[in-house]
A and B are shown apart, each in its own frame.
Chain A
Amino acid sequence: MSSTQKKQVLIVEDEQDLLTILQIRLSRDNYEVFTAPDGQAGLELAQTIKPDVVVLDIMMPGKDGFSLLRDLKGNEETCHIPVIVVTARDRIEEPCALEGAERFLVKPYEYSVLQESIRELTAGV
């Protein structure tokens, strides 16, 4: 991958307003941002574009974040994609880690922490 090529971030989040704000901020930080409003759309997009990192909400209608995380990490083609779980739920850090999530942030998080996490996880890509 060329060093000038933008890193790709897939945000899977059912709160449309949060999705939009995060998209604006990450785009401004020079990432190429893809968005999905639920787990199923997120899975399809992840399998298609193979993003450099996924920012994933857990509680979503239909296919939830756990399910998507499991599918991503259980698939040879997508298991290498780092996943940052961002959730408002409590006490799910351990199960997310067991499922293979690389980072876990509780909403509302500091954007700088998310920035740093994305930077670290995409550094070797």
Chain B
Amino acid sequence: MHKILLICDTTACSAANVELGDIHDEASVTVIAPDEAAVQPAHSSYDQIIIDMNLSDAQIQSVISAMRSAGVSIPIIIYPTGKKCWTAVPSTQGRPENAAGDCSRHKREHSGCGAMVISGEASIAGAACIYPHFFDDIDSGIIISTREGVCVYSNNTIQMLIGGSIVQRHIKELFGDYFPEEYKSGDGIQFDTVLRHAGIGRDIPVHVEAVPIAEKCPLGWYILVTGLENFSEFFETVEESAHQLMPPEFPETLMDRLAHEVRTPAALIKESIELIAEQYLGDINAMQKQYLDVAQKNIGRLVTAVNLMLEHTSANSVIAKLDVQDCNIHDILHSIVVTLNQLYPYLAGSIHLHHSAEVVVKTDQAKLAYILYTLMDMLVSGQAGAESVDVSVRSLDAHALIIIHTRYCGGDVLHADSNYPDALEICKVLLWLLKGSLTVDSEPNRPDGCLKIILPLEYETQIWRNET
């Protein structure tokens, strides 16, 4: 049986234990506190040592130092256990930035002991645990995995397991078009290239050996980078590239939040002032009335200012003029699947769209397409960490049944608890878009890993499309 020693604080223990138990079907997980691990570091009877990334930098460093000093050569994985790495945030907000923050922090803190960080994705972190054989020098290196990738630094070589969409994209940018859009497992490629470090403007020559990985479904790339003179510059380059690719927070989202935060207290002040001014709470004199009027006027000014800001933001966010046209769900899904295939070439062949009935929906097509896209984007590249998505549509008497089947490299169980609620949140939005005529199979732990969305067939056509 695979024996894992998990070092984490008590609050993360139970969640982490469950996750790791799920990852390793036949693993035995022992959980100890960081203080205990630092005092008694010789744990040679374990196959893996996993340190919770949520511990403080000082705690992590203390444990690693103690283990290295004691000559422990067991692979050490710094792993984002608990819910921190896949907190239910059904959008791009927060997550990549957090991941990048983790990266910088750990790179900075652990550069002295040979550890490097690449921002990562939970699925790949899980994959590192499941497929440790990808890392040849795992027994002497330190793995740090976050949300989009995992890498091992040892013997002056960087080994990376890359599968998350963001890393996939920025690695592709870094390495140009070396990676073919379609590949078969085992087809390796080698090339020399030059990375440009934007911060110092220096070129970094590297030799890259890359092998695609497919365990039942495309998993990502195993990449060996050698010939690096300065590893930290390499990772800074990768991180900078990742930052540039991160989508900015939509200004309207920020303003929407701000509007709520300002309007609610403004409403309270306004209502309170009016209650006093109406003399419901007792008589007020002329002078008091005068100053209540001043307060009322200025609350009005404040609210007007917020409304103007919102209007301005809203006006700036309009990109295209839309017109009402007929459309059907198949068109929408088809365009989504095409887009997904373009965005995620490593998923080529794993996204299918079956169509057996024309389904017309009454909603804003742009919204529906966006939401479905977001849903799938989330499933593919976001919190859910799915490595492939099957989309199929088929008629079901009066309804169309859309089945979005996700596959995770770590197995469905790995993400079932934390990810289906995300997807269901999006479906709730779909629900109100379709005015309650849509039902969602909300069973969170479906054995077949399917999320089923049932769209009504008989809807009047009232769809928004780009005028062009």
* Structural contact, A108 and B270, CB atoms closer than 8 A: yes
- A80 at interface, CB cutoff 8 A: no
- Whether A25 contacts B275 by the Cβ 8 Å rule is yes
Please determine whether A21 and B256 come into contact, CB atoms closer than 8 angstroms: no
Given A21-B275, A59-B260, A88-B260, decide whether A15 and B268 contact each other with a Cβ distance below 8 A.
Answer: yes
Instruction: Give the contact-size bracket for chain B.
Output: 20 to 34
Which of A18, A66, A100 is B271 in contact with, Cβ under 8 Å? Answer: A18
Q: Which B residues form the contact surface with A (CB < 8 A)?
A: 252, 255-256, 259-260, 262-264, 266-272, 274-275, 280, 299, 303, 310, 314, 428, 431-433, 435-436
Interface membership of chain A positions 57-82, coded 1 if the CB is closer than 8 angstroms to chain B and 0 otherwise: 00100000011001001100000000
Contacts of A18 in B (CB 8 A): 264, 267-268, 271
Known contacts A24-B280, A88-B259, A89-B259: A17-B310 contact under CB 8 Å = no
In the complex, the answer to whether B271 meets A22 with C-beta atoms within 8 Å is yes
Query: Using Cβ atoms and an 8 Å threshold, which residues of chain A touch B432?
Result: 66, 70, 95, 98-99
Q: A107 near B: Cβ within 8 Å?
A: yes
Q: Which residues of A contact B272 (CB under 8 A)?
A: 17, 21
Residues of chain A at the chain B interface (Cβ within 8 Å): 15, 17-18, 21-22, 24-25, 28, 59, 66-67, 70, 73-74, 88-91, 95, 98-100, 106-109, 111
- Min CB–CB distance B397 → chain A (angstroms): 21
- Taking a contact as CB atoms under 8 Å apart, the answer to whether A91 and B264 are in contact is no
What residues of chain A lie closer than 8 Å to B270, measured between beta carbons? 108
Which one of B256, B264, B428, B436 contacts A74 once the chains associate, using CB atoms below 8 Å? B436
Report the minimal beta-carbon distance from B25 to chain A, rounded to whole angstroms: 36
Extra pairs beyond A70-B431, A108-B269, A109-B267 (13, CB < 8 Å) = A15-B264, A15-B268, A17-B272, A18-B271, A21-B268, A66-B428, A67-B428, A89-B260, A90-B314, A91-B252, A98-B435, A108-B266, A108-B271
- Of residues B252, B271, B433, which shows the largest number of chain A Cβ atoms within 10 Å of its Cβ? B271
